Amino acid sequence: MTSCGNPSPLGVYVHWPFCKSKCPYCDFNSHVREGVEQARWRRALLRELEHAAREAPERQVQTMFFGGGTPSLMEPQTVAALIARTRELWDTAADIEITLEANPTSVEASNFAALAQAGVNRVSLGLQALDADALRFLGRQHSVDEAIAALDVARRHFGRYSFDLIYARPGQTPQSWADELDRALVLAGEHLSLYQLTIERGTRFFTDRARGLFTLPAEEEAAQMFEHTQARLAAAGLPAYEISNHARPGAACRHNLIYWQYRDYVGVGPGAHGRVATGDAKRATRRTSGPEAWLEAVERAGHGTAETADVRGRDRVEEALMMGLRLSDGIDREVFAVVAGLDPVEALGETRLAALVEAGFLEIDAARFRATAAGRQRLNALLERLFA
């Protein structure tokens, strides 16, 4: 689709909620089902995509992201249909980034060629560990050898690829993580996502830890792992551009930057969220989370929207700060004033900020507002101070 003028940029997120099994650390909107009616789901996703185009008309789609769940379990023809319809509904950037999350099993890797032909040009692989015992503990269905083989397939079919690892696992030491990180760098391309294991309420790990079935590394050890990660990847040419994400210059995930820079995106599929600017507010949308409830709603009404609200004033500023302070570059104050409606210093007050600058957690100048490395490592605590 072509358009006149200079349409505002937009990201499109598509949620596929199904997995082969539920990982014990996962609190995402993911579900295990015996079977999925792929054609029925394709029709519903396309129908809600058309509704999303009415929510955010006259935009240019710059990124598209298939998340989950496990989107590599989607039939490639579903992915192809959604990409093609996106191009029909909106103007799309010539260099549009289209990312799909995938598990590195041999079955899913066998679809990579078809997914690339469908239009996917970036893949994010959930390796999670390069250690067999750790993979079993994390409930993963692939082996280390399968993971490495899937990376080889990804390199052949996609212009860009990334993979995830989880560290600060039970029994892991700073030295064993340093060794695993070195192995990861041999396999890495332009991007790595490295997450500390967090135990979320409602997961199996939350129950297991409460029962004493495992313990995490001490806080001091986890901090050492984080600091080594930052230094080692910076030395390897993949500095952190966000708390857990590292990339070569120019290779950051452009779709995720939309979230962290508080720009506009629409969400399609069960539980998907959206944020679209409307005058002095951000229109926030949330789709119904349950797969069956969402599917029935779309077939009945054309969309599965569960909640719509306008985020404005102080709430809008806080949302933008929560996202922007995750970035190593922090917040461009001029851009922030446009997307959030207020300059961050004006919104929070110089007196409150001065103490955090003095303590070494914030850096503020005429152009930027950013958390220091120490501030990003303690971001939740920093945000509590900012919003108190």
Q: Does residue 289 lie within any of the structural domains? A: no
Q: Do 55 and 185 lie in a common domain?
A: yes
Q: Residue 2: is its pLDDT beyond 80?
A: no
Q: Do 236 and 333 lie in a common domain?
A: no
CA separation for the pair 98, 124 (Å, rounded): 11
Sign of CA dihedral 97, 98, 99, 102: negative
% of residues, the chain, pLDDT over 90: 90
- Whether omega before 69 lies within 30 degrees of 0, making that bond cis, reads yes
CA separation for the pair 11, 84 (Å, rounded): 15
User: 34-48, 80-94, 99-113, 279-293: lowest mean pLDDT where?
Assistant: 99-113
Tell me if 367 sits within 8 A of 343, measured CB to CB. no
Q: Do 249 and 341 lie in a common domain?
A: no
User: 6-10, 61-65, 180-184, 268-272: lowest mean pLDDT where?
Assistant: 6-10
pLDDT for the residue 120: 98
pLDDT tens digits, one per residue of 99-108: 999 999 877 8
Banded model confidence at residue 352, pLDDT cuts 50, 70, 90: confident
Q: Residue 73: is its pLDDT beyond 90?
A: yes
pLDDT for the residue 4: 44
Instruction: Pick the closest to residue 221 from 166, 165, 183, 177 (CA basis).
Output: 177
Q: Do 195 and 75 lie in a common domain?
A: yes
CA separation for the pair 99, 329 (Å, rounded): 23
Banded model confidence at residue 34, pLDDT cuts 50, 70, 90: confident
Q: Does residue 303 lie within any of the structural domains? A: no
Q: Which residue, of 206, 230, 258, is where some domain finishes?
A: 258
The tokens for 71 are: 């989107």
Q: What's the whole-number mean pLDDT along residues 77-95?
A: 98
Q: Do 164 and 80 lie in a common domain?
A: yes
User: The domain that contains 56 carries what CATH number?
Assistant: 3.20.20.70
Q: How far is CA 360 from the centre of its chain?
A: 28
Q: What's the whole-number mean pLDDT along residues 19-47?
A: 94
Q: Does residue 320 lie within any of the structural domains? A: no
Q: Does residue 181 lie within any of the structural domains? A: yes
Enter the DSSP assignment of 71.
Answer: G
pLDDT for the residue 280: 87
pLDDT tens digits, one per residue of 187-240: 999 999 999 999 999 999 999 999 999 999 999 999 999 999 999 999 999 999
pLDDT for the residue 326: 97
- Beta strands at 160-167 and 122-128: parallel, antiparallel or unpaired: parallel
Q: What is the mean pLDDT of the chain?
A: 95
Q: Does residue 384 lie within any of the structural domains? A: yes
Tell me if 15 sits within 8 A of 55, measured CB to CB. no
pLDDT for the residue 95: 97
Q: Do 249 and 342 lie in a common domain?
A: no
Q: Do 339 and 253 lie in a common domain?
A: no
Higher pLDDT, 339 or 1: 339
Q: Does residue 301 lie within any of the structural domains? A: no
Containing structural domain, residue 351 = 329-388
Q: Do 237 and 348 lie in a common domain?
A: no
Q: Do 254 and 333 lie in a common domain?
A: no
Looking at the structure of the chain, the number of domains it has is: 2
pLDDT for the residue 5: 54
Q: Which residue, of 258, 287, 319, is where some domain finishes?
A: 258
CA separation for the pair 248, 268 (Å, rounded): 30
Sign of CA dihedral 252, 253, 258, 264: positive
CA separation for the pair 130, 156 (Å, rounded): 21
CA separation for the pair 178, 70 (Å, rounded): 29
Q: Which residue, of 197, 226, 258, is where some domain finishes?
A: 258
- Beta strands at 245-247 and 191-196: parallel, antiparallel or unpaired: antiparallel
The tokens for 353 are: 């900020």
Q: What's the whole-number mean pLDDT along residues 20-44?
A: 94
Q: Do 51 and 161 lie in a common domain?
A: yes
Q: Do 342 and 217 lie in a common domain?
A: no
Q: Do 151 and 247 lie in a common domain?
A: yes
Q: Does residue 374 lie within any of the structural domains? A: yes
pLDDT tens digits, one per residue of 119-169: 999 999 999 999 999 999 999 999 999 999 999 999 999 989 999 999 999
pLDDT for the residue 159: 87
Q: Does residue 165 lie within any of the structural domains? A: yes
Give the number of other CB atoms < 10 A from CB of residue 113.
13
